[in-house]
Structure 1
Amino acid sequence: MSIRRKLPPFTALTAFEAAARLGSFTKAAKELGVTQAAISRQIHVLEEQFGFPLFLRLHRKVKLTEKAMALASAAQDAFDLLANSVAEISKGDHDPELTIAATVAFSHFWLLPKISEFSSQHPEINLRIITQDDMPNIESSDLDVAIRFGNGMWPDGQAELLFDDEIFPVCSPDFAERAGTIASPKDLLRYPLISNMADDPTWTGWGEWLAAFSVELPKKKPGLRCSLYTDAIYSALNGQGITLGWRHLVEDLLAQGRLVKLTDAALKTRNAYFAVVPKRRRQSEAAGSFLDWLTETVNPAASPASKEAQPKRSE
């Protein structure tokens, strides 16, 4: 018997996959451009063929039955693979495109200053960089790689560790000269502290940083409050006060002498930066090249060239 005879009707599988993914016959109908009744009929066709219900009909939503969960997972994998294959062959002979997502701070201070190195190594790859703090679902978008900060556990992607970080107070050289010696973290309270109002619970603010050194942040401490971390850094660059510098984000500014560390006190982050790629989608050659470049940039000692240059140990 041919495989086609073993498979349910493609139209019915399409309706089932959409309803399972969206959890709604109405939303599936809207996505596929048909009526809700048409979706219900196609689901009924499958249920008749299998001999058991695929969905529990609840108020304003539907829920997969236990038996249907395996079918839903297989259907989504199959449709994703088919869609990706169609996308690949549709590109023809055009140059490959790589879509990367990163937060505003990471993109501004780390990725964009370094990405020209990747472009010079791979001039055939067209880059598209999406900068936003609210990260989209990587499985349901056209992203190839997302740079995220967190614990590495995201259901929509497979994460590869880039680096953890440490946080310490920074300011402009002129402000540091005016401030004088900072003997302990408590001394920072004498000066304006620049903060940013991050919605991300993994982001460390002044309250948490000072608490790590047994210092309580006053409730009405004067200081500039910014909506974005980039604004806080630029405010510090312009002498507005002291802000928290994340080492990997401000290392270039420190090397250029535009920012200075005020104290050796530093707090290790609980989380880290990861490169995240889709789990179900086949990785493109361009994405693989970018991940290799990231690894070599973050850890030059691990690159093949560095390993070849290291002297061999005598046997």
Structure 2
Amino acid sequence: MNRRRKLPPLTALTAFEAAARLASFTRAANELGVTQAAVSRQIHLLEEQFGFPLFVRLHRKIELTGKGKTLSAAAGDAFDLIAGSVAEISREGPSDELTIAATVAFSHFWLLPRISEFSRQHPEINLRIVTQDNMPNIESGELDIAIRFGSGMWADGQAELLFDDEIFPICSPDYERTNARIVTPDDLTAHPLITNDVDDPTWIGWTEWLAAFSVKAPKKTLGFRCSFYTEAIYAALNGQGIALGWRRLVEDLLAQNRLVRVTDAAVKTRNAYFVILPKRRRHPEAAGLFLSWLKNESHLPSVATRISKTD
């Protein structure tokens, strides 16, 4: 049978995909630049063609039916695949450009201090670093590689383990010299503890870290509260108190003696850092070279240690 006869009208499917993703006919209409009535009409045509409802219309909201959820998942995957292919074939600039995404903290403290070595080895590859904590779907075509922290289970890409991590208290050498010695995790509660805002449930803060040693975090702690982890680290560098150091992020600062560990106590993370590649798109040769470099770099000593050994 002709494939087109098996498919619903593309206009109706586009309206359905937007309404399902946004959970709103009105928001779908705004995104598509049409009226709410037009979106509703297209979805009604689909439901008539299929012979069953795709949405449950509730008071001031809509919900997908079971069959609607199935169609929504398929339509979303198909549109992502098309968008990724279009972005790949129409991408401006040389074909050897590589776009890499990572969180602000990972880019700032780990990736950027090292990436010049990759550029030295592969000067023909133009690198573009996308730094943001809320990463786009890697199948969208905007990214070639993403570096994420988590369980490794992401629906939009295939994950390869880079390395795990551990977390321990850190402060500046001056703060350590001028304050009472910390022997146990319980001693930390008397010091200003630097915190940062985070929405990621995999992130470990002071409450979780202290609880691992059966220590209850004080309800009110002295110290800075920062918006980002990078700010928390700079507050620690400036002697404002004690922050939690993720070893992979602060190892260069420790090697340079700009930060010091407060105790030997550490918490191993359950999650890890992964390299994510698209599942449905061809990986450019540059992505393979970058992945090999990442894996090799992840097993080397910190940048600061390597520099000191060559001086």
Q: Give the TM-score of the pair, scaled to structure 1.
A: 0.78
Checking the alignment, whether the CA contact within 8 Å between 2:168 and 2:263 is kept in structure 1 is yes
Aligned equivalent of 1:103? 103
Look at both structures and tell me which one has the larger radius of gyration over its CA atoms: 1
What is the one-letter code of the residue matched to 2:297? T
**Residue 112 (structure 1) shift:** 1.4
Checking the alignment, whether the CA contact within 8 Å between 2:171 and 2:236 is kept in structure 1 is yes
Question: Is it true that 1:208 corresponds to 2:214 in the alignment?
Answer: no
Aligned equivalent of 2:20? 20
**Residue 257 (structure 1) shift:** 1.9
Checking the alignment, whether the CA contact within 8 Å between 2:171 and 2:262 is kept in structure 1 is yes
User: Aligned Cα RMSD in Å?
Assistant: 3.3
Alignment: residue pair count: 301
**Residue 195 (structure 1) shift:** 3.2
Q: Matched residues in 2 for 1:5 and 1:42: separation?
A: 18
Q: Partner of 2:80: helix, strand, or coil?
A: helix
CA 1:179–1:17: 2 relative to 1, 3 Å: closer
Q: Matched residues in 2 for 1:220 and 1:74: separation?
A: 48
Q: Matched residues in 1 for 2:26 and 2:128: separation?
A: 34
Aligned equivalent of 2:196? 196
What is the one-letter code of the residue matched to 2:266? A
Aligned equivalent of 2:230? 230
Aligned equivalent of 2:309? none
Q: Matched residues in 1 for 2:56 and 2:219: separation?
A: 51
Q: Partner of 1:270: helix, strand, or coil?
A: coil
Checking the alignment, whether the CA contact within 8 Å between 1:166 and 1:247 is kept in structure 2 is yes
CA 1:83–1:204: 2 relative to 1, 3 Å: closer
Aligned equivalent of 1:2? 2
Deviates more, 1:199-208 or 1:256-265: 199-208
Checking the alignment, whether the CA contact within 8 Å between 2:167 and 2:247 is kept in structure 1 is yes
Deviates more, 1:81-90 or 1:141-150: 141-150
Q: In percent, how many aligned pairs have the same letter?
A: 73
Any stretches of 5+ residues in structure 1 without a counterpart?
302-315
**Residue 109 (structure 1) shift:** 0.8
Any stretches of 5+ residues in structure 2 without a counterpart?
302-311
Q: Matched residues in 2 for 1:269 and 1:215: separation?
A: 18
Aligned equivalent of 1:148? 148
TM-superposition CA deviations, 1:171-196 (whole Å, max 9, x none):
22333334475433344455444333
What is the one-letter code of the residue matched to 2:247? R
Q: Partner of 2:269: helix, strand, or coil?
A: strand
Aligned equivalent of 1:73? 73
